[in-house]
Amino acid sequence: MNGTNVSPTPTPQDQAQDPNVSHQVLERLSDEWDALTPEAQKAARYVLENPNDVGVSTVREIAEAANVKPNTFVRMARQVGFDGYEDFRAPFREAIRQGQTSFPDRVRWLQEIRKSGELGGLYADMVEATLRNIEDSFANTDADKLQAAATAIWNSRQVFTLGVGVNNANARNFTYLASTGMKDFHCIPRPGSNAIDDLAWVDGSDVLIAMTCRPYRAEVVEAVKAARAQGVTIVGISDSPASPIIRDADHGFVVAADTPQFFPSSASTIALLETLLSFVIAVASDEIVERVESFHKRRHQLGIYQEEPE
């Protein structure tokens, strides 16, 4: 062990009283990660990423799936405080028996969260708002409109992604991901510049993806107006059909950003951007797949990624 405090192995009585005990086992695996051997870490990684398999698989089946020997799972279970794999597997089988492995009924789930402690109410409010925002956003987003925007992006000469404040991080994330397979993607405003200057030489061959939610940022609204006057295709992402950047957009997408907290939620904006990028890849030529593969192969060769044991 690595000196951490490990809770006692759950008994059958514990399992009956707490249907979430399998989650405690997963937490224990994470806590004890550094104390595991490299082979046991491979087994633990498989469990953490595929917990539902544990309750239905024999030790041989799960070992084969994880590409380790069956004894590795036995040793892993013992290293985290269980008598063996069957003892380790018991909480996962109990979770399946009690129907805890699928996504629970939302109302009942949120009610249980609210009872979970001092901040349970806040946790439930945030979860509920996030799920509702994403559902509302996609319910009001037409796949044909996403395809039209994606086609415009793919066929453009340059793409500029504009976000300030909290949306600057969203814009940069989208630009970074897109740039792994596509050239001439630019996140603006650039350091030391402003968005209107960054768009000085754009024209009808270019696309601007702009995002802002209430209270609308003036520099984003003005940059969209300037770009539109120069013939640029505008993809607008905002929280209302009445938003000034939606009204000026060729392709407008309304996202829900409500939250119990002070700051608007970015969850639906990020989800929409990820979906839009997937549409761009879908309408693109096969060349983009080769670029992404080449990009990541180069990163592996340069040692940028920490390689996992085989």
Residue by residue, DSSP assigns 87-137 as: HHHHHHHHHHHTT-SSPPPHHHHHHHHHTSSTTHHHHHHHHHHHHHHHHHH
Domain end among 64, 97, 130:
97
**What is the residue type of 127?**
V
How confident is the prediction along the chain (310 residues), in pLDDT tens digits per residue? 333 333 444 444 443 344 455 678 888 888 888 888 889 888 988 888 888 888 888 888 889 999 999 999 999 999 888 888 888 888 888 776 665 544 456 666 666 767 767 777 877 888 888 989 999 999 989 899 999 999 999 999 999 999 999 999 999 999 999 988 888 999 999 999 999 999 999 999 999 999 999 899 999 999 999 999 999 999 999 999 889 999 999 999 999 998 887 778 899 999 999 999 999 999 987 777 777 777 777 777 778 777 776 6
- Report phi then psi at 205, rounded to 5: -85, -5
**CA atoms of 146 and 22, how far apart (whole Å):** 40
Domain end among 40, 75, 97:
97
* Res 7: pLDDT: 40
Same domain? For 192 and 279 the reply is yes
* Res 18: pLDDT: 44
Yes or no: say if 170 and 268 are a contact pair by the CB < 8 Å rule: no
Query: How many other CB atoms sit within 10 Å of the CB of residue 231?
Result: 11
* Res 20: pLDDT: 55
Same domain? For 148 and 24 the reply is no
Same domain? For 73 and 170 the reply is no
CATH value at residue 82: 1.10.10.10
Q: Assess if residue 117 is contained within a domain.
A: no
* Res 12: pLDDT: 40
CATH value at residue 187: 3.40.50.10490
Yes or no: say if 156 and 207 are a contact pair by the CB < 8 Å rule: yes
Q: Assess if residue 1 is contained within a domain.
A: no
Which positions ≥6 away from 172 have C-beta within 8 Å?
161, 163, 187
Which positions ≥6 away from 266 have C-beta within 8 Å?
166, 167, 169, 170, 257
* Res 182: pLDDT: 83
Q: Assess if residue 136 is contained within a domain.
A: no
